[in-house]
Structure 1
Amino acid sequence: MTTDPDPMRRLGLQLAWHGSVTETRIRKALGAAGLTPRHAMTLMHLDAGPVGQRALAERLEVDPSVLVGILNDLETEGLVERRRDPADRRRHIVAITGSGSAALGQTNAALDEVERGIFGNLSDEECEQLRTLLGRVNSSAEDFTCGE
């Protein structure tokens, strides 16, 4: 890693800066539809089909109690529905509704616009390289080492 005093040579600071700007733009775009990034991610995961509530919490990497709040918000807006699993009454199945699918379409259009603005100077190949590199970045809260 570098000890260069130029802050733009510090990858962590640069990633934090770009992350902050990106988050602000995404929150603004999603806020117009009354959604948060967690709401949007939940709808995206449900778009593939109904899923158990516990499995959804694992996919979203959130505590089940946090997911309950997210689902309460989405259910109040008519974007998802929860129902008991007929095979196991203790288990809840979560599904996106027609309104949720429509909201997801608007969400994806808003995200596409934000991403065009952010990544417009990158080629498709460069975007794919960035996805690959970001996938390799260790952002685990438990591990604070870099490059060891």
Structure 2
Amino acid sequence: MTIGELLKEYRISQRKNQKEFINNGKIVSQSYYSKVEKNINSITVDNLLYLLHYNNIPIWEFFSHLNQNDDIKKQEIENFEKTMLAAFYDNNKEKIKSLKPLIKESNLSEKNKEEEILQLEALLESMKTPDEKSNTELRNKIKDKIFSIP
């Protein structure tokens, strides 16, 4: 969803025409605003904030509707991590391993996929028995990741 589409949804839900929504042209001109709703023009941050305040639309609410895709990704990450931890506490290495292809095929960004796979591999590494050979390269990668956190 775009900013223009979301503004239009709010305007319609408030049963306002464009002129009423833009304070009779005091925020932006009606022709300009019409093009914002049609995604022809972009709106400046200042003008967007004026519109949101004028129409009593909480900023956090507006942006949470705008970024629903981020919420879906966040939920997907949380689901992977809950499953990993449950499998870890059950000492179920196969369950953890089975998540790797699911993570690779997910809609997460490449960076998020890499981070989830690194966590998965870290759990598997920590589950090794003393007689299993440790993966020094992986352990160093995990250390680098941990110590690079701001």
State the TM-score bracket (shorter-chain normalisation): under 0.3
TM-score normalised by length of structure 2 = 0.24
Larger RCO, structures 1/2 (Cα 8 Å, 6+ apart): 1
Q: Which has the higher strand share?
A: 1
TM-score normalised by length of structure 1 = 0.25
Q: Which has the higher helix share?
A: 2
